[in-house]
Chains A and B, each alone.
Chain A
Amino acid sequence: MDAQARNNRRWIVASSVTVLALLGIGALLGLLIVPAVQGREAGLDPWTAFCRAVGVKPGVAPVAQPISDAVAAPVSEVAWSSEVLTALVHGDRNAGQALAKERCTACHGERGLSTDTQYPRLSGQSAAALYKQLRDYQTGARAHPMMTAVAQGLDETQVRNLAAYFAHGNSFASLGHPQPLQDYEMDRLVNRGVPDRGIPPCNACHGGGVGGPIETPTLGGQHREYLQRQLQLYASGERRNDVFGRMRNIASRLTPGEIKELAAYYEGWQPVEGELAAGR
């Protein structure tokens, strides 16, 4: 063991001991001492305080965990899951087409291209949006003299097939290429957002491929009257099946003039040739 080998060993031992000792002190402080001392105030025994400090139990050491006795009172009961979302992508369009001929085209027109403005156009609409509205009609989260009965007459697979079928129409334009807006105020509403009124840009959710909420409907090419009426229903709170009131909060901040202009803007959205506005 010449001098250098002894020196090497000394370095190895010294560094290992220091690193492990520091690690031990850090763990001791963080996992035992701090939680135990903090836990005393909330009347917690050290074991519970340790469990909270490690993350096995909810809560932080020094404070008792608040309790809630609220009871769920949801409006829309649609909960997304990978099972539903994959089913919508692989829905049976032919079965959907047959079913649509039988129950939907009377009002919504051939392939969902309704001409009567009180019935929304369905062709090219997002599959998730169609699925959610049909399920909301089924559960009563959304009510309509005719649609409630029609929806309740469908089972889960029929709803998925219809959504998949209409989603693959191509009359709606993909909003991936927003049209330039001359009116600065409208451009703020649609593309830039109006922070002083707390209104996010419409295209933050309704634009194409923007990672917004799953059930966001495509608006391009929809009847302006239908869009206008839905915005008014949201503003008055009569329509309440938007999760956590997103659309109710926004619609109630729009002036009637803006509602009309927005509805006209999105209806005027001409389909982009050759681009299949497939549902996402």
Chain B
Amino acid sequence: MVDRVHISDEERALAEALREAPRGALALAGAAVGLLLLAWFLIFFFVFLPRGTVT
């Protein structure tokens, strides 16, 4: 299923890619985890706490 690019091309493409990676992934994953944290705190403050303290 993987398209067979000539080995040296693949190595060159990989080296090219590695020069810029993984800044996109850091941004994407960072945003996703940031949103997750935000969602957790929104639910913590605006849904959980107003429902009353239980112990």
Contacts and interface: CB of A to CB of B under 8 A. Distances in A.
Do A and B belong to a common assembly? yes
Interface of A: 38, 60, 62-63
B55 interface: yes
Contacts, number: 4
Specify the main secondary structure of chain A where it touches its partner: loop
Contacts of B55: 38, 60, 62-63
4 contacts: A38-B55, A60-B55, A62-B55, A63-B55
- How many B residues are at the interface, by size bracket? under 10
Contacts of A38: 55
Nearest to B54: A60
A38 B55 CA distance: 10
A209 to B, nearest CB: 38
Contacts of A62: 55
Specify the main secondary structure of chain B where it touches its partner: loop
Nearest to A61: B55
A268 B11 CA distance: 84
B14 to A, nearest CB: 26
Nearest to A60: B55
A99 to B, nearest CB: 56
A213 to B, nearest CB: 31
Interface in B1-55: 55
A177 B9 CA distance: 73
Nearest to B53: A62
B37 to A, nearest CB: 20
A22 B55 CA distance: 25
Nearest to A42: B55
Nearest to A63: B55
Nearest to A38: B55
B46 to A, nearest CB: 24
Contacts of A63: 55
A60 B55 CA distance: 7
A63 B55 CA distance: 8
A275 B55 CA distance: 53
A199 B55 CA distance: 33
A38 B53 CA distance: 13
Nearest to A62: B55
A52 to B, nearest CB: 11
A168 to B, nearest CB: 51
Closest 4 CB pairs of A and B: A60-B55, A62-B55, A63-B55, A38-B55
